[in-house]
Structure 1
């Protein structure tokens, strides 16, 4: 090999070694075209161990519809339907007292009038101006003429009027139907005059309701 040939071979080896060093230099990426650099970054992840890892897509979180997740309250087409949906068993004392007042005060009245009588008693128990429980409201001295010696007379539980009174009382206690006398605290027969400060709320059947 001549001296000239040796020199040429050495120069070629030097250029090749320089090119390899430049490609392995961390700063060499800065000299690439920006578009090319982005393509390389996308095609080759920095961590080569992740190349075979499957891509996990986020699972969408669906909103919860509270209206459909909660059980719907029963709805009735009419007061008659609400009353018909009730059982006739008087399970507790408050229910029996309320049904007794409905039976003795309004058994001959339309269902709306019976419900209004129940509303008066319930409103009194919440008003702070009368006793705080249903039975004490019903048996309060001088308030209801059917009460005898502080007690409600017994009723034959097989009578249709009693069963209806129990059902109406359950509707009132469950607030399953809105009464037109919802704010009333008093009622009397339509033939009687109310007190001077009474405000008329509704007239149903033979009763007028006031607050």
Structure 2
């Protein structure tokens, strides 16, 4: 993935949007810069000015999605580039999976049980989505999702070709948040197989229901 995005794919330059509270914008920009600085490939996503408002940043956007049509070419791990992009507009922060960082999504109840079984030394970053699921971030290592997690845990592996919202991104006024922040985890990412082993051990019939989509 390249930090060099041509003019046709770059987020459109625009004056500051006064409707976005300055603190919220600053938080989003700081998150994007911090993630890029630690090697997480980030890209700008569409955003809302009000709860249940129109999605802005890309013409015809129907939800939270990348601003650039060829979004896989529009990521960065350069903090200076991230600062430039997120100074233009209060874009949402999206992670491009498969380039060092993947995510394993499970229902919230399952995620709570699994996190309790992970020793603090082996906990990587964990995010909570506002619609009933948790995300365990792991190293990109081509480890497939274990079939019992897919069949019985309503789990999904987000790897190459996927993108995920990163806190403090919000949808319809509801923010994504960190249960275990990257800084708390020392920016260390556990192996996918290790996290999946704990997720399998913490499976329960109480983990039911359809899996909500994050993107």
Q: Structure 2 length as normaliser, TM-score?
A: 0.24
Larger radius of gyration: 1
- The structure carrying a bigger helix percent of its residues is 1
- The structure carrying a bigger strand percent of its residues is 2
Larger RCO, structure (CA 8 Å, separation 6 or more) = 2
Q: Structure 1 length as normaliser, TM-score?
A: 0.24
